Amino acid sequence: MSIRNLTFGGLCIAFLVAMAPVQAGVAEDEASITRLMKQQFDKPEAPLTVAPVVVKADHAIASWAQGERGGRALLRRYHGQWEISVCAGDGLTNPSVLQSAGMTSPQADALARALVRAEAGLPAAHRAKFSTFDGMLRLGAGGQHPPAHGASHTH
């Protein structure tokens, strides 16, 4: 075995060891986001599925489906906790919409690209559900739906 191969192998191992905490952090974020969404919207008669979840720094998008409908949720980490800030459909795949929610252009571009890649692995019929959420619903503090004056909206 040559010195070059040993050096390359050592670099690969060092990279994997260095990336392990990052991967663990992303998995923890994904689990926290899924748990949050299920706590708020899961119902025995209409179970909520949450996948994929993409995370970039303190922002995330979670695609969700419930029955024949679905959508996407934009989340923000606030004081170490994830909060749902916006529920929408295809709008959350648009970097300019993400920028209007307070993200920088590079952050918005990276998150939108990550979402498109993550959703590409799903069956087309499942992906189509994410487009059924009409409009954009901004949520109040703590990720709660604002009062709707008698209107009901379910996830």
In the chain, what are the domain boundaries?
25-143
Query: What letter does residue 43 receive in the DSSP assignment?
Result: B
CB 64 within 8 A of CB 48: yes
pTM for the predicted model, two decimal places: 0.77
Reported as a single tens digit per residue, the pLDDT across 66-92 is: 999 999 999 999 999 999 999 999 999
Partners of residue 62 on adjacent β-strands:
53, 73
Reported as a single tens digit per residue, the pLDDT across 27-55 is: 999 999 999 999 999 999 999 999 999 99
Identify residue 108 by its one-letter amino acid code: A
3-state secondary structure of 104: coil
